[in-house]
Chains A and B, each alone.
Chain A
Amino acid sequence: MGDKQLPEKTPLDRKTSDYTMSGFKRDWNGNAKRRDGPKPAQRQVVRNAYTPMFEQLRNELDEHHDRRERIVKASRDITALSKKMTLTLCIVISVRNIESQLPANIQAEVDSRLAEIAKLLAAIAPEIQGINRYRYSRSLMCLEELVEALTFAHYLKTQTLISHDQLSPIVEELARQGAASEDEVMTDARDTPATPPKPRQAEAPKVSLTQDDYLYGVFDLTGEMMRFATTSTALTGTMASGVTGDGDDTPRTIVQDMHELGSFFEMLPVVPGNRFAWEKKLDITRQSVQKVERLGYDRIIRGSERPKGWLPDLSSADQGQSEELE
């Protein structure tokens, strides 16, 4: 009796052990690799009362992972486009002061980037409606880069910080414009809301801008302003400032703007939930403010020197600088 039991049990154990020991190879996506020969049949045999439940759960999880991957891909593209836009604004605009209109060629390039971003936003907008908006927040870091680019462009035109309430409709309009396939030409995002939206466009899903997207984007703006201050001072010899029509007022310089922005973040309460990231951004902002302060100090000290016997150079650039020197 006892001897009979052992042989009956052993084959089953061995079979299960073989199944367990073989394991599953996975490709880079994490999916189990297909096998040739008898092993697929072996896998198919292993069905039990719980398999239908797991198959249903698998379908749900696959849907979630696929959606997340689509969002991540679009997010990377939007991040790259936003960085290019910011780079265009920072490098090319450095030779002039802050004015209400960007040069035509710069505006055209900014508009083309925005058009591409609009299409990408429109593509992922249906995926991030309702409960999914916060589910994929970590996959939508691109919105911080977009906020950085848009706030920087706004600052270069107006020397003011655009608010979250003003920026949200712009981002939502971008998604709507991207959804309107017949409208391939993208006008300036700020001008577009003035035109009445078409009824069909109003139905397009929005891409909402969370407050965290806005705040971390403005943190990054301080870095861009520091870079802008550095390059514009190096190229023009003066601190960037606004142009004021009233002769009596002294134009506000970028140093004062950096001070105001730095104080703004110092006074805000720490955003809960991700305290470490906030402290890190705040520290970097402090460094940017100090760099621009140093820039202003150096210009005052060194810029005012007039060594004895100094003779002006005859080249046009130097003449321009001498005119601007106080």
Chain B
Amino acid sequence: MAPPMIDPALFDQLKSNIEEDTSVRKALDQILDDLNQHVSFTQGVLSRIHSTPRSKYAALLEQVEGGIKKEIETVGKLSAFASQYPYYKYNHKWTRMVQDAISTALLCSWLGGMSTESKPGEIGRLLTLEDVGSVFGIPVNLKDRDAFHITIEEYLLGLISVIDELGRLSVNSVTLGDNAMAVQISGFVKDLHAGFQVLNLKNDILRKRVDSIKYAVKKVEDVVYDLSLRNLIPAQDSK
């Protein structure tokens, strides 16, 4: 009888490779379940900014920073595990959760949290991509080596989530009587919208999400219009 078409060793090799791939994904799923819980908790605490006056942000942000600290620990574990394999082979599994974690850090710092020795916390502070990397202890935009890192797309998509959240906050801050906050949010959102116009976007998820920024811009502009119509813009800001 002629030798078989397929070498039995080939089957064994492919089978073991596929099984290893499966076990890697299962291990990632466990880490990402933890990360998902921490992100959800942090987002839940942050949702209280819509019913908390500015004077009580400090206590709230302390809880948020506690949640972010847990996120940082879990992302550290994810980084240690994922760096053993090609980054882009599995990054679709975690990219959404990393975006959400980034958005919680960005929103917390904008509200005055995440202060460090060199950069005190103040309302309106935007973390850059490098700042986010140092917060999480993760490299950003890696090119020279293949390891876990935060990509530009993840940072930008996280930033867009923050813009949506601030659009909502501008409405609720007026309800809470904090008109200056609404004005500040309006300026910030419009500045970022101008910044996003600088990008040359292709037809991908980033472009779809950037297109939604204009609705947040309209929302914050409507709020400022309503305030100015009723002469409610804080005097010192208009000067």
Residues of chain A at the chain B interface (Cβ within 8 Å): 2, 5-6, 8-9, 13, 16-17, 19-20, 24, 29-32, 43, 46-51, 53-55, 57-58, 60-62, 65, 130-135, 137, 155, 159-161, 163-165, 211, 215, 242, 244, 249-252, 256-257, 260-261, 264, 267-273
Nearest chain A CB to B51 CB, angstrom units: 29
A50 and B11 form a contact (CB under 8 A): no
B146 and A131 form a contact (CB under 8 A): yes
Q: Which residue of B lies closest to A260 (CB)?
A: B5
Known contacts: A54-B199, A61-B199, A131-B146. The answer to whether A272 contacts B25 by CB under 8 A is yes
B15 and A268 form a contact (CB under 8 A): yes
A163 and B199 form a contact (CB under 8 A): no
Q: Which residues of B contact A24 (CB under 8 A)?
A: 197
Q: Main SS of the interface on chain B?
A: helix
Report the Cα distance A256→B1, complex, angstroms.
12
A268 and B14 form a contact (CB under 8 A): yes
B14 and A164 form a contact (CB under 8 A): yes
Closest 9 CB pairs of A and B: A134-B88, A131-B146, A54-B195, A135-B88, A134-B86, A50-B195, A163-B10, A48-B191, A54-B198
Tell me whether B59 is interfacial, beta carbon within 8 Å: no
Show 22 residue pairs from A and B whose CB-CB distance is below 8 angstroms, ordered by the A residue.
Answer: A6-B231, A16-B190, A20-B217, A20-B221, A30-B201, A46-B197, A48-B195, A50-B194, A51-B195, A54-B198, A57-B156, A131-B87, A134-B86, A135-B87, A161-B10, A211-B17, A249-B2, A250-B1, A256-B5, A268-B14, A272-B22, A273-B25
Interface residues of B in 12-46 (CB under 8 A from A): 13-15, 17-19, 21-22, 25
A159 and B198 form a contact (CB under 8 A): no
Interface residues of B in 86-136 (CB under 8 A from A): 86-89, 126, 128-129
Report the Cα distance A164→B7, complex, angstroms.
11
Q: Which residues of A contact B55 (CB under 8 A)?
A: none
B19 and A269 form a contact (CB under 8 A): yes
B142 and A131 form a contact (CB under 8 A): yes
Q: Which residue of B lies closest to A269 (CB)?
A: B18
Q: Which residues of B contact A2 (CB under 8 A)?
A: 231
Q: Which residue of B lies closest to A9 (CB)?
A: B228
Nearest chain A CB to B184 CB, angstrom units: 14
Q: Which residue of A lies closest to B194 (CB)?
A: A46
Report the Cα distance A273→B203, complex, angstroms.
24
Q: Which residues of A contact B147 (CB under 8 A)?
A: 131
Report the Cα distance A222→B21, complex, angstroms.
24
Of listed B1, B3, B9, B202, residue having the most chain A CB within 10 A: B202
A8 and B238 form a contact (CB under 8 A): yes
20 extra interchain contacts, Cβ-Cβ under 8 A, other than A17-B221, A130-B144, A211-B17? A13-B221, A20-B214, A29-B202, A30-B201, A30-B203, A31-B200, A48-B191, A50-B126, A50-B194, A50-B195, A53-B129, A62-B200, A133-B86, A159-B2, A160-B3, A215-B14, A242-B2, A261-B5, A264-B6, A273-B21
Q: Which residue of A lies closest to B144 (CB)?
A: A130
Report the Cα distance A228→B10, complex, angstroms.
24
Known contacts: A2-B231, A137-B88. The answer to whether A271 contacts B18 by CB under 8 A is yes
B201 and A160 form a contact (CB under 8 A): no
Nearest chain A CB to B221 CB, angstrom units: 7
Q: Which residues of B contact A51 (CB under 8 A)?
A: 194-195, 198
Known contacts: A2-B231, A131-B145, A131-B146. The answer to whether A160 contacts B5 by CB under 8 A is yes
B238 and A9 form a contact (CB under 8 A): yes
Nearest chain B CB to A131 CB, angstrom units: 4
B194 and A13 form a contact (CB under 8 A): no
Nearest chain A CB to B193 CB, angstrom units: 7
A60 and B152 form a contact (CB under 8 A): yes
Q: Which residue of B lies closest to A278 (CB)?
A: B18
Q: Which residues of B contact A252 (CB under 8 A)?
A: 1-2, 5
Nearest chain A CB to B84 CB, angstrom units: 14
Known contacts: A13-B221, A57-B156, A160-B5. The answer to whether A131 contacts B86 by CB under 8 A is yes
Report the Cα distance A48→B194, complex, angstroms.
8
A30 and B18 form a contact (CB under 8 A): no
Report the Cα distance A264→B5, complex, angstroms.
10
Report the Cα distance A32→B199, complex, angstroms.
9
Report the Cα distance A163→B14, complex, angstroms.
10
B11 and A264 form a contact (CB under 8 A): yes
Interface residues of B in 203-223 (CB under 8 A from A): 203, 206-207, 214, 217-218, 221
Q: Which residues of A contact B199 (CB under 8 A)?
A: 54, 57-58, 61
Q: Which residues of A contact B6 (CB under 8 A)?
A: 160-161, 260-261, 264
Q: Which residues of B contact A133 (CB under 8 A)?
A: 86, 88
Q: Which residues of B contact A215 (CB under 8 A)?
A: 14
